[in-house]
Amino acid sequence: MFLALKEMRRARLRFGLLAGAVGLLVFLILFQQSLLNSLITQFIGGLRNQSAEVLVYGVDARKNLEGSRVTPAQVEAVGQVPGVAKATGLGEGTFTVTAAGVLKDAVIFGYELGGPGAPTTLQSGRLPEKDGEALSSASKSEKGFGLGDQIQVAPAGVTMTIVGTAKDAKYSVAPTLYTSFATYESARRSVNPDAQVVLPSVVAVTVAPGASPTQVATAINAAVPGVEALSRADAVAATPGVSAITQSFGIILGLFYIIIPLVTGLFFLIITFQKASSLTLLRAIGARPQTLVWSLLIQVLIVVLGGAAFATFLLWGASFGTADIGVSVDPAAVATTTMVVLVLGLLAALAAVRRVLKLDPVSATTGQGVQV
């Protein structure tokens, strides 16, 4: 312990550079993990945190909510399928709205009030109870979407009053409003005077007590032509773009997890090579191999933990500039990543440990040092 710390104090630049490199790599992992979680939540939070257990898409939509339309006949047919307790139309669209006097993007969900499709993560206020009321997903940083604010669909469309807010209920990375289907219909018509009819995007389904959403979805697909029913979890996972984002980030994060232990292992292996003669001398004057190995492992521990602390500090700093995309310091994620990196770093240091254990104290008497 004493030896390890003394050496680190005397070679601050060397260990500082390593801790800096490890810290930057851990920062990139933490940043990307946070970005991935935030992106996924902002992308499909509105689907994940709503009350319909099954969502029924138009078959040509290919599980894309924005591109899906279902007919009134299909809504009715879904309601007749065994295992379905309630089936109502749910509309979704992206609109330009005026909030706090400024034009902004917003997603609007229109559902039958009191029916399936209502947000389930109410944070403040209440759910909408009549036309013209809406619940907002927006965070405090997004002005104009707070409790009591009024939002108008542009240009000169329907106006909604925010009566509640919900957590993690965004869709398509935009502030999301939940309102009655009639209000949604008015919004649709106001932006397109040529619209002949406003169809629901999907059928929102509550399953009967004891029925499984997956089985009910299968039954709907068998009974109703032209639709594709998915359980809520499947609808979330199948949303276009989610798997591409997850797989792309998975590849990048996987590479980072390989690089960090290699950088750490490389450093300690080289440093052990360089110290070989000194370590041999220590062995010759009675130092036990365990003492030297512990010294090495303590250095790995300090470098990785120091790097992780530096990474957390960087992430904290970065979170101020990326609040709009939701990057934040999650203590659980930091702890888990640090543990994984530490274990990988210690494993990577095994090559250096092996080299230390192979040192022969007798060679100190030959004047040749140790061959590396």
Partner 1 sequence: MRLALRELRRRPGRFVVATSVLALISLLLLVLGGLLDGLTLGSTGAIRVQQADVFVFSATARNSIPRSRITPELRAQVEKAPGVTSVGGLGIGQFGAAVPDHAGLVDIALIGYQQPATGIPAPPAPGEGYADRRLESSGVSPGQTIEVGPAKTPVKIVGWVEDSSYVLQGTVWVEPGTWRAAQNANRPDARVADGLFQVLIASGSGTPASLAASIDAATQGQTETLTKNDAVLSLPGTRQQQSTFLQIIFTTLFVAALVVGLFFSLLTLERAGLYGVLKALGSSSGQLFAGLIAQALVVTGVAVLIGGAVTLLMVRAVPPTVPIQLVGGRVAFVVSGMAVAAVLGSIVSLRRVVRIDPASAIGSST
Distance of closest approach, residue 43 Cβ to partner 1, in angstroms:
10
Among 5, 73, 197, 208, contact with partner 1 (rule: CB under 8 A) = 197
Instruction: Tell me: cis bond preceding 155? Omega within 30 of 0 counts.
Output: yes
Q: Say whether residue 105 binds partner 1 (CB under 8 A).
A: yes
* Interface residue with partner 1, options 73, 258, 347, 362 (CB under 8 A): 258
Instruction: Tell me if 271 contacts partner 1 by CB under 8 A.
Output: yes
Judged by CB under 8 A, the number of residues near partner 1 is 63
Candidates 80-88, 185-193, 205-213, 338-346; binding stretch for partner 1 (CB under 8 A)? 185-193
Does 160 engage in binding with partner 1 (CB under 8 A)? no
To partner 1, the closest distance from the beta carbon of 211 in angstroms equals: 27
Closest by CA position to 66, among listed 145, 174, 159: 174
Compose the 77-96 pattern: x for residues touching partner 1 by CB under 8 A, - for all others. Answer: -----------------xxx
Minimum CB–partner distance for residue 174 and partner 1 (Å):
10
27 binds partner 1 (CB under 8 A): yes
For the chain, the three-class secondary structure string (H helix, E strand, C coil) is CHHHHHHHHHCHHHHHHHHHHHHHHHHHHHHHHHHHHHHHHHHHHHHHCECCCEEEEEHHHCCCHHHCCCCHHHHHHHHCCCCEEEEEEEEEEEEEEEECCEEEEEEEEEECCCCCCCECCEEEECCCCCCCEEEECCCCCCCCCCCCCEEEECCCCCEEEEEEEECCCCECCECEEEEEHHHHHHHHHHHCCCCCCCCCCEEEEEECCCCCHHHHHHHHHHHCCCEEEEEHHHHHHHCCCHHHHHHHHHHHHHHHHHHHHHHHHHHHHHHHHHCHHHHHHHHHCCCCHHHHHHHHHHHHHHHHHHHHHHHHHHHHHHHHHCHHHCCCCCHHHHHHHHHHHHHHHHHHCHHHHHHHHCCCHHHHHCCCCCCC
Binding mask 108-127 for partner 1 (x = CB under 8 A): --------------------
Is the CB of 37 or the CB of 94 nearer to partner 1?
A: 94
28, 77, 162, 353: which one binds partner 1 (CB under 8 A): 28
Residue 236 as a binder of partner 1 (CB under 8 A): the answer is no
**Interaction of residue 269 with partner 1, rule CB under 8 A:** yes
Task: Output the smallest distance, CB 310 to partner 1, in A.
Answer: 12
**Please, which residue, 70 or 166, has the CB nearer to partner 1?**
70
Asked whether position 76 contacts partner 1 by CB under 8 A, the answer is: no
**Site residues for partner 1 per CB under 8 A:** 13-14, 17-18, 20-21, 24-25, 27-28, 31-32, 35, 58-62, 64, 66-67, 69, 94-96, 103-105, 154-155, 173, 188, 191-192, 194-199, 226, 240, 243-244, 247-248, 251-252, 255-256, 258-259, 262-263, 265-267, 269-271, 273-274, 325
